[in-house]
Copies of this chain bind each other. A is one copy, B any other.
């Protein structure tokens, strides 16, 4: 907790006598602060004051980079979401790469940023534009569907039939990971990820499975 820090600290590189954090450190502190603040006070009470106080940044400094608490939140969710690779490894092994893409999803689900993302989507009815922005500004620029990114890569290279990659099929892996987490309160282990790939994704996506 940084509540006791001076809020006169500056985002810019103006000279001063205080020990200052670098620009990147300040941005990281603000992103961490908005995620913590959301967990503590909820979406309806997210303010520039609350975020600034938690990060130890003057509100005027926050406004130099972001124009609203929602903009800070989206920035933090974007920074916390993994950048998906079309082919996470050069193995040319569809099964391996699908499991790897689900591992990337599970690693993300364990982060505070993922909890914050879930909180926004849960409140979709009250904040529809913010939920929509999570899709357009967070998920889609980074790839958007972990297994879908891999499946499209293998369709592009002729390994699987692109006609099989319907919206439903592109969603199977993520849907099963989320359902497992919902039912068990835990993240799926390695064996479960392999079962999801072998028993659900490959039979649907790959005629040879």
Contacts and interface: CB of A to CB of B under 8 A. Distances in A.
Given A200-B169, A204-B204, A178 B176 contact: no
Interface stretch (A2-10, A25-33, A51-59, A191-199): A191-199
Interface stretch (A14-22, A71-79, A119-127): A119-127
A196 to B, nearest CB: 6
A117 to B, nearest CB: 11
Contacts of A180: 171
Interface string A169-207: 101101110111011010000001001100110011000
Interface residues of A, number: 30
A171 B195 CA distance: 12
Nearest to A135: B183
A199 B169 contact: yes
A160 to B, nearest CB: 13
Given A172-B176, A179-B171, A166 B199 contact: yes
A200 B196 CA distance: 12
A110 interface: no
Contacts of A176: 168, 171-172, 175
A141 interface: no
Given A131-B185, A175-B178, A199 B195 contact: no
Contacts of A125: 185
Contacts of A185: 124-125, 128, 131
A172 B175 CA distance: 8
Contacts of A175: 172, 175-176, 178-179
Interface of A: 121-122, 124-125, 128, 131, 135, 164, 166-169, 171-172, 174-176, 178-180, 182-183, 185, 192, 195-196, 199-200, 203-204
